[in-house]
Amino acid sequence: MDILNKLLAIDINYIVAALIVIFYLLENLFETQFKFDKMRVHLFHNIMIQLSIILGGLVTAAVIVTAVEWLHKNHVGLFHYIQMPVWLKLALGVVAFDFINYWFHRTAHRIPVLWRFHRVHHSDSRMDASTNLRAHPVELLVYFGLSNIVAAALFGLDLTALGLYFLIIIPYVFLEHSNIRFPDWIDKTIGLVFVTPNIHKVHHERDQYYTDSNYSDIFIIWDRIFGTFKFKPPGEINLGLNEFADDRKQTFWYLLISPFINMGRVSSEKSQKTKWKQNQLKGEKTAEQVRACSWETIKEK
């Protein structure tokens, strides 16, 4: 616990800064998955978004800490009523935070007003490790901040568990978004349980059929269990969103105000076909229900 406490005492912003430098160097040393220009300009705009998140976090972090502390002191949540070793509670705490974030992430794709903010993250057509920094401050600090409070309330998690989760998730999501080529065997082994970079890249595919999948951050088992897992070879992935295809829409300021700009979600042909099939199946079921109801009425007469 002493080692963990020392690690948790490190300012998260220092960890983020170190990871930006490390992955920038790695992406310039190793073979990259995607080729693109203006890498430094791309990094600059993503760092500007991160700075806005840091400023906003000065307020929301205090709210989250206060809420989690209050919940813990008042013994709110499942784990307060189950005896288990500290190490197991911490491990299950990481799993619990990831589980709740899966549902919050999935909901952000389903509800239009939430998607307006979440699409900022998906707008990146030049994906690399710094894409992890591209998240609208309102969404990251308020919406996903709320998800951590909900997880703490449901499962009885304390600040140590939350700190451990951040200590794991922050470098993990940098790795997930990194523009480095990874071998296929990782997806076929580690990818059975954990989210791999290739699996997460599918979530950033421009085709909405794939965008609305692979919501997990750490454990891909949530997508496998709840039917939202999809896979597409990394070499076939087209990144970003059609709504943000113009480079002028890739700037810090535009991304910051974009949730307040009315722009329709441009679906791909495959997504439209999928929706058409789903509607057709619903129509067939409705017709069957009507026929069954009519038959029951005839029999009663």
**Report field, pTM of the whole predicted structure over 0.85:** yes
At 237, the pLDDT band (50, 70, 90 cuts) reads: very high
| Across 155-180, average pLDDT | 96
Region of poorest pLDDT, from 31-35, 89-93, 122-126: 31-35
Checking if the pLDDT of 265 tops 70, the result is: yes
Q: How far apart are CA 232 and CA 184, in angstroms?
A: 12
Checking if the pLDDT of 293 tops 90, the result is: no
Checking if the pLDDT of 290 tops 60, the result is: no
Mean pLDDT, the chain, as a whole number? 89
| Across 222-235, average pLDDT | 96
What pLDDT, on a 0 to 100 scale, did the predictor assign at position 267? 63
At 197, the pLDDT band (50, 70, 90 cuts) reads: very high
